[in-house]
Structure 1
Amino acid sequence: MDHSTHQQRPTGAALTRLAMTATLHCLTGCAIGEVLGMVIGTALGWSDGPTIALAVALAFVFGYSFTIGPVMRSGLALRAAIPVALAADTVSITVMEIVDNAVMLLVPGAMDAGLGSWLFWGSLAFALAVAFVVTVPVNRWLIGRGKGHAVVHQFHGGGHGHAAHERRPTGEHGHGHDH
């Protein structure tokens, strides 16, 4: 099978769509971690610093896990999937976390609002939306250069699943692949 198309990089509208998809993927993992961290920190009555630290840590954990799972399903072992996730998501998650936490801190009273408050949830939703808008161009730039989420697409999606077999490090040949 000719895999020369793996080297082609999307441009124009296709690049923007891919960047939006990658950012939405990242946002999903980040939002789960962010919400969980904010809920735990707020419920425990923590101050802003520890609450944000927990939210950021969980955002990275969930963000990376949303990439590691599909990459492993493509046939890559965990120890090979982790560097793929780190390469794919670190910049995106970092930008997203800086932006959404800055917005949360800038909305008056948002961090002090209780979990039953519309101010808290509205501010968090707004912060994540702003983070999405800011992160799309970052991901577009990275993907356009074959970096960031572009590294994941050689392992899944768009019919590229066979690339995982070609790039698997020696000694990691698994069994029972479904392609």
Structure 2
Amino acid sequence: MSLQQAFHELVTLELVLAWVAVSLVSVGVLWFDLRRNNRKLPSMMKLVWTLTVLYSGVLGLAVYWYSGRSQIPDDTFLRRGMRSTAHCYSGCGVGEVLGVTLAAGILLLNTVGVVAVTFTFAYLFGVAFTVGPLMQEGVGIREALADAVYSESGSIVAMETVAIGSDIYLAGEATMGEPVFWASLAVSLSLGFLAAYPINLGLLHLGVKEGMGDPSAM
């Protein structure tokens, strides 16, 4: 039995609903902590953490607890890498969900079409989530776009190569009406995060990315 077949046999509607419930509870815990203990975090990072936890549930909440709270004992290179990955992940995830749903679920495109549409959406949203904050800080559109493309492309390509590839493999011929379609999307998003984390560490080490600010200093 292949991994794909085993995954299809494992996934049920009840399992998907349980995953949704756990993710929503995790988001509730996040919002409670943001409201009670971390109101000083920038609104953009609150959105980043909300999307990260929504995509990955308890895993996303653990990443926030380890690297995103102002109560962390000290900032480290590994924590900076996690925050940087989460920032990229939040934007790419929006694009990936929209792209896969449109390309595979609605338009029923072939594999090449699904990959092209999904990657395009993920890349554009990933870049946009960097361009927006830069422009809010007064950076011009051209400079902000150039900086976003330069700093985020490596992370986005790594993340989406794994995420889209695993989603297509796990979902197989599943349609939007089947639980395995959504289960594959959820699993692939988290796999994309894990794949992009070491890439972000490398980009930070090389100075390509600056990483998100130390929350404990806010």
1:55-94 CA distance string (max 9 Å, x none) = 0000010000000000111110101101110111000000
Q: Which amino acid aligns with 1:25?
A: H
**In structure 2, what is the Cα distance between the partners aligned to 1:64 and 1:57?**
11
Which one has the largest radius of gyration? 1
Within the candidate set 197, 205, 213, 1:144 is matched to 205
Q: Which amino acid aligns with 2:142?
A: R
Within the candidate set 106, 125, 148, 2:169 is matched to 106
* 1:56 matched residue in structure 2: 119
Q: How many residues align?
A: 141
Partners of 2:118 and 2:164 within 8 A in 1:
no
Say if 2:80 is the partner of 1:18: yes
**In structure 1, what is the Cα distance between the partners aligned to 2:172 and 2:114?**
9
* 1:36 matched residue in structure 2: 98
- TM-score, normalising length: structure 1: 0.73
Partners of 2:167 and 2:185 within 8 A in 1:
yes
Q: Which amino acid aligns with 2:174?
A: A
Please give the root-mean-square deviation of Cα atoms over the aligned residues, in Å: 1.9
* 1:79 matched residue in structure 2: 142
- TM-score, normalising length: structure 2: 0.61
* 1:175 matched residue in structure 2: none
Say if 2:89 is the partner of 1:27: yes
**In structure 1, what is the Cα distance between the partners aligned to 2:77 and 2:173?**
39
Distance 1:71 1:158, change over 3 A: farther
4+ long deviations beyond 2 Å: none
Runs of 5+ consecutive residues of structure 1 not aligned to the other structure: 1-11, 160-179
SS in 1 for 2:76: helix
SS in 2 for 1:112: coil
Q: Which amino acid aligns with 2:152?
A: D
1:82-139 CA distance string (max 9 Å, x none) = 11101110000000111112212332xx042111222111111111111111111110
Partners of 1:29 and 1:62 within 8 A in 2:
yes
Runs of 5+ consecutive residues of structure 2 not aligned to the other structure: 1-73
Partners of 2:155 and 2:196 within 8 A in 1:
yes
Once the two structures are superposed, the pairs formed by residues 97-176 of structure 1 within 5 Å of their partners are 97-107=160-170, 110-147=171-208, 149-150=209-210, 157=213
Partners of 1:19 and 1:139 within 8 A in 2:
yes
